[in-house]
Amino acid sequence: MAYIKNLFDRNFLEYASYVIKDRAIPDLEDGLKPVQRRILHSLFEMDDGKYHKVATVSGHCAKYHPHGEQSINPALVVLANKDLFIDKQGNFGNIFTGDDAAAPRYIECRLTPLAKEVFYNPKLTVWADSYDGRNREPVLFPAKIPVILAMGVEGIAVGMSTKILPHNILEILEAEIACLTGKKIELYPDFPTGGYVDVSEYDGGNGKVLVRAKLDTSDPKRILITELPFGSTTESIINSIDTAARNGRIKILGINDFTTDKVEIEIKLARGVYAQETIDALYAFSECEQSISVNLLVIKNGLPAVMTVNEIIKYHAKQLVKILTRELELEKKELLDKLHLRTLERIFIEERIYKAIEKMKTAKGVFDAVLSGFKPFAKEIGTRKVTDDDIEHLLRIPIRRISLYDINKARDEMLAINARIKEINAHLKNITAYSVAYLKNIIAKIKANEEIGRGARKTVVGEFDKVIAKEVVKRDVDLKYDIKSGYLGTNVGGSKIAEVSPYDRILAIRKNGMYSVLDLSEKAFIGAEAWFIGAADKDLLAKTIFTIVYKEPESGYPCIKRCVIEGWIINKDYFLVPDGSEVLHLDIRPKFSFTVHYTPKPRLKVLSETFKAQDYNVRGLKAGGIRLAAKEADRVECK
């Protein structure tokens, strides 16, 4: 048994780790899930500037992704609809209506210039074997911007989940520039569907946001929805409005969807209902307003980590500096290698060193002759040694190239290389300024070509109060009470006692002093004798003083209790007076007089007394009443 338990524990941990790191949670460094990374890698390998069938891309990607094309195709469509790194052609679905994309064989895609700018650098990319060992795939792309914030992502793993909202690509780059220049960072979500967002509780990506649709109420008899809240489609928002209308929350005549590449949902209002008075009901009872909880969980250095938006910007600002430094150093090294070879080629050809090898009969003799020929030019060659590889390169130069060698052209090339090395050294000394210039260059490219990115902000950031449904809904439901049967509800045959809303709870106080709070229902039994029935509104009840005049159980002496009902558990019975007492009167007026009539008895001269309720203090619900007289009470008359 212990062996089986250990086996299950080990397998579960391996499975959980795999789902978290290799399926559901994106990596901080390049902001991609593994399937997205493999799709982009496939597109880099296939890139020839032309569009490729999505089916072809999926087939190519299957070499790297072990879960097949059924998982690759939807991931590619989602990635393409981000409008950042994949240029699409054909029907990729509609993010507004929720319509699916066409079959992969009918749609095409290719990389955008932004993808090549941000991700592609094979010389700096770390590679690993694919799942079957036949190919090599990137472990992570050296991404130059915080892709994870630009795209947004949602994923559910074992024991954890992530929900990161998309942000505007231009604002992300501006935030990186602000971070590099020591300025304040301020970054909020931006959604492709537009609408409004309240970020007062965003908490750096780990709180929540309130999103709303954009409504056009210029016509008082109709409402147009022109932009959707994030997470909704035209179909889901229409269904939510239809449901609210059927439940009597909103009064409409009809709803029409004219959405194409822009959202246009028309809501025709019922007679006597106007647009301005319907807005709050739409926010309260439909998807026109939603609260979205967010959790910025990423894989950082191989482990799950919860971060904030500002922390991600700072991390990527440092990463950008490191990547650009490595690129410059790599380019410098390659230029120095090229300069070294060009110098050797020039000396080898101009000084006719190749003539010295004509009489040599062995390979060693040839190598030694070339090395000897370079000794007089050691100062020009510099500190770098002439290696066997260098000599091998020189010996492979064809005779035609030697005969057509252009000395001036070679020197111009070497001057250009030296100038570029000098420029690289200047960039390395001022790497922060170079990084800022790099980001500004990307911003300029995006603004010049809207197809590269989403461009200007679509979602308006503001602050608005959440509409509470029970405050918006009208109290137009008839609450009835049948005294004979003791039933209370909306579907009983008794008399109407109040108008309530579907969200109201009902407070019922019976003649024995017991009270309870009930959910509004069609029919509920409370008994044939009730002193008070009304809406259990906590704000209203907190200001309502209940005055109860009752008879003590054994002596029958009259007592008064004044209290406020502030809290309760639904469907639980409570007593305002001691068990067995008889309630003579219940009142909710703050000031009134009442007369207690006593039971006639021998030697009892005073048969009634009048009291003022306001003369007695308000006490707690569990406190006992105050005795009014040491005489048996018969009845109470109220003025």
User: How far apart are alpha carbons 253 and 539 in whole angstroms?
Assistant: 35
Greater pLDDT, 179 or 344: 179
User: Up-side HSE of residue 43: CA atoms within 13 Å toward CB?
Assistant: 31
Tokens of 618: 């308000």
Tally of CB atoms within 10 A around 439: 20
Q: Is the pLDDT of residue 502 over 60?
A: yes
561 Cα distance to chain centroid: 53
CB 280 within 8 A of CB 472: yes
Burial of 12 (0-12, 13-18, 19+ CB in 10 A): exposed
Query: Of 70-79, 214-223, 521-530, 598-607, which gets the smallest average pLDDT?
Result: 521-530
Which tens digits make up the pLDDT trace of 536-558? 878 788 888 999 999 998 899 99
Q: Is the pLDDT of residue 89 over 60?
A: yes
User: How far apart are alpha carbons 258 and 187 in whole angstroms?
Assistant: 33
Torsion of CA 522, 523, 529, 531, to 10 degrees: -30
Query: Of 91-95, 382-386, 468-472, which gets the smallest average pLDDT?
Result: 468-472
- The residue type found at 417 is I
CA-based nearest residue to 32, from 104, 187, 137: 137
Q: Is the pLDDT of residue 79 over 80?
A: yes
Band of the pLDDT at 173, cuts 50, 70, 90? Answer: very high
Tokens of 545: 């003083």
Q: What per-residue confidence (pLDDT) applies to 355?
A: 79
Interstrand relation of 208-212 and 214-216 (parallel, antiparallel or unpaired): unpaired
Q: What per-residue confidence (pLDDT) applies to 177?
A: 95
CB 397 within 8 A of CB 308: no
Sheet-wide strand order for 214-216: 214-216, 222-227, 265-269, 252-257
Sheet-wide strand order for 546-551: 582-587, 546-551, 558-563, 626-627
Band of the pLDDT at 309, cuts 50, 70, 90? Answer: very high
Tokens of 88: 């699409």
CB 548 within 8 A of CB 513: yes
Greatest mean pLDDT range, 59-73, 395-409, 486-500: 59-73
Q: Catalytic one among 106, 202, 315, 438?
A: 106
572 contact partners, CB below 8 Å, separation of at least 6: 516, 517
SS (H, E, C) 469-529: HHHHCCCCEEEEEECCCCEEECCCCCEEEEEECCCCEEEEEECCCEEEEEECCCCEECCCC
Q: What per-residue confidence (pLDDT) applies to 468?
A: 59
Q: What per-residue confidence (pLDDT) applies to 356?
A: 78
Tokens of 214: 């954009």
How far apart are the two ends of the chain, measured CA to CA in Å?
A: 81
SS (H, E, C) 387-450: CHHHHHHHHCCCHHHHHCCCHHHHHHHHHHHHHHHHHHHHHHHCHHHHHHHHHHHHHHHHHHCC
Q: What per-residue confidence (pLDDT) applies to 277?
A: 82
Q: What per-residue confidence (pLDDT) applies to 17?
A: 63
Greater pLDDT, 98 or 529: 98
User: Up-side HSE of residue 312: CA atoms within 13 Å toward CB?
Assistant: 33
Q: Is the pLDDT of residue 462 over 90?
A: no
Band of the pLDDT at 19, cuts 50, 70, 90? Answer: low
Greater pLDDT, 174 or 503: 174
Question: Over the chain, what is the mean pLDDT?
Answer: 87
Greater pLDDT, 466 or 264: 264
Mean pLDDT for the stretch of residues 151-179:
90
Q: Quickly list DSSP for 586-632.
A: EE--SS-EEEEEEPP-TT----EEEEEGGGS----TTSPPEE--SS-
Mean pLDDT for the stretch of residues 338-355:
82
- Taking only Cα atoms into account, the Rg of the chain, rounded to an integer number of angstroms, comes to 40
DSSP-assigned beta bridge partners for residue 489:
480
Provide the whole-model pTM.
Answer: 0.77
Q: Supply φ then ψ for residue 621, to 5 degrees.
A: -65, -35
Identify the DSSP state of 189.
B
CA-based nearest residue to 153, from 57, 79, 51, 256: 79
CB 381 within 8 A of CB 387: no
Which tens digits make up the pLDDT trace of 95-128? 999 899 999 999 999 999 999 999 999 999 999 9
493 contact partners, CB below 8 Å, separation of at least 6: 480, 482
Interstrand relation of 460-462 and 108-111 (parallel, antiparallel or unpaired): unpaired
Q: Is the pLDDT of residue 453 over 50?
A: no
106 counts as catalytic: yes
Q: What per-residue confidence (pLDDT) applies to 202?
A: 93
Q: What per-residue confidence (pLDDT) applies to 475?
A: 67
Tally of CB atoms within 10 A around 18: 13
Q: How many helices (H) and strands (E) does the chain have?
A: 18, 32
Tokens of 418: 């030296």
Mean pLDDT for the stretch of residues 193-208:
92
Residue percentage of the chain with pLDDT more than 90: 50
Q: Is the pLDDT of residue 320 over 70?
A: yes
CB 27 within 8 A of CB 299: yes
Return the sign of the alpha-carbon dihedral for residues 60, 61, 66, 69: negative
Band of the pLDDT at 473, cuts 50, 70, 90? Answer: low
